[in-house]
């Protein structure tokens, strides 16, 4: 098994652009709308002038303890359609500052689609913490059967709307509201196996029945359970994490211990956005991914 560290940066995506970032915020274009969202971390000086930032269509304003609200400067729709290649999905202004789209994940989508299309065999993919489902749509569009698991009922409905927008409603996708660990344990008892597993957990979260997810305490438990449902001839495993106290090498070592016996290729690193102005790259998360 080969192993290396690689920082992944999405290729040019016409409908998304990181315009600038600094002083605790990001200036981004999602389709035809420009947004300002808070960003913790190093407080670089902004490259673009203040008047450019002030022209944003909406600004997320923090009100305390991580909560906030959107201040819109012109009428905006509740949702608007965006595209990535053949995929389509809706962006929205959520109360949690997110838009339902994580552009830095695009290299994962491309990578998974290529693996599935060239596998020349049936591929069952499990997407845990699947959120609005763009990774699920990517896998389904490439020919995989997908099990999409998320704990949020509204987010699950959003993912189904995305599937309809992308023309993928007829693909074999199971949409399930469930706690990730509980679901995987039940799948193991059923003898279900998956050739591909996507794990994209938050730092902290709750299951549909109040189950508590805390990355430092829960992550390795989930990995141990996933070992029981991995197919005998696996195709890929990809993990993304947002826990700032962890490192890409931690994720690398977890997957190496689990998947080393299969050989294959293992990479780890950071998912990064490149601003269209300035030279400071924006690290959004860490990842590790393995393929046969």
pLDDT tens track for 107-147 = 999 999 999 999 999 999 999 999 999 999 999 999 999 99
Domain covering 16-81 in this structure, CATH number: 2.60.40.1180
3-class SS letters over the chain: CEEEECCECCCCCCCEEEEEEECCEEEEEECCEEEEEECCCCCCCCCCCHHHHHCCCEEEEEEECCEEEEEECCCCCCEEEEEECCEEEEEECCCCCCCCCCHHHHHHHHHHHHHHHCCCCCCEEEEECCCCCHHHHHHHHCCCEEEEEECCHHHHHHHHHHHHHCCCCCCCEEEEECCHHHHHHHHHHHCCCECEEEECCCCEEECCCCCEEEHHHHHHHHHHHHCCCECCCCCEEEEEECCCCCCHHHHHHHHHHHHHHHCCEEEEEEEEECCCCCCCCEEEEEEEEEEC
User: For domain 2-9+101-291, which CATH number applies: 3.30.70.20, 3.40.50.300, 3.40.5.90, 3.40.50.150?
Assistant: 3.40.50.150
The overall average pLDDT reported for the chain is: 95
pLDDT digit string, tens, across residues 225-244: 999 999 999 999 999 999 77
| pLDDT value at 3 more than 70 | no
pTM for the structure as a whole: 0.96
Positions of CATH 2.60.40.1180 in the chain: 16-81
């Amino acid at each position: 098994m080969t192993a290396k560290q690689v920082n992944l940066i999405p290729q040019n995506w016409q409908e998304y652009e990181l315009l600038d970032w600094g002083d605790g915020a990001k200036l981004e274009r999602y389709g035809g709308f420009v947004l300002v969202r808070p960003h913790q971390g190093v407080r670089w000086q902004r490259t673009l002038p203040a008047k450019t930032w002030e022209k944003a269509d909406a600004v997320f304003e923090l009100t305390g303890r991580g909560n906030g609200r959107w201040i819109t400067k012109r009428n905006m729709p509740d949702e608007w359609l965006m595209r990535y290649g053949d995929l389509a999905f809706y962006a929205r202004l959520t109360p949690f500052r997110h838009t339902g789209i994580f552009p830095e994940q695009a290299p994962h989508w491309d990578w998974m689609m290529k693996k599935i299309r060239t596998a020349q065999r049936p591929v069952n993919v499990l997407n845990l913490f699947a959120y609005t489902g763009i990774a699920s749509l990517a896998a389904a569009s490439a020919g995989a059967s997908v099990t999409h698991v998320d704990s949020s009922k509204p987010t699950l409905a959003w993912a189904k709307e995305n599937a309809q927008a992308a023309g993928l409603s007829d693909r074999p996708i199971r949409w399930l509201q469930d706690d990730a660990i509980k679901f995987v344990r039940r799948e193991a008892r059923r003898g279900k196996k998956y050739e591909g597993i996507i794990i994209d957990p938050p730092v902290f979260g709750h299951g549909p029945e109040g189950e508590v997810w805390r990355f430092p305490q829960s992550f390795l438990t989930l990995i141990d359970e996933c070992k029981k449902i991995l197919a005998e001839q696996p195709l890929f495993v990809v993990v993304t994490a947002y826990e700032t106290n962890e490192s890409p090498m931690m994720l690398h070592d977890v997957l190496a211990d689990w998947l080393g016996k299969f050989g294959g290729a293992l990479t780890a690193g950071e998912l990064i956005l490149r601003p269209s102005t300035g030279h400071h790259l924006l690290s959004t998360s860490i990842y590790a991914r393995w393929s046969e």
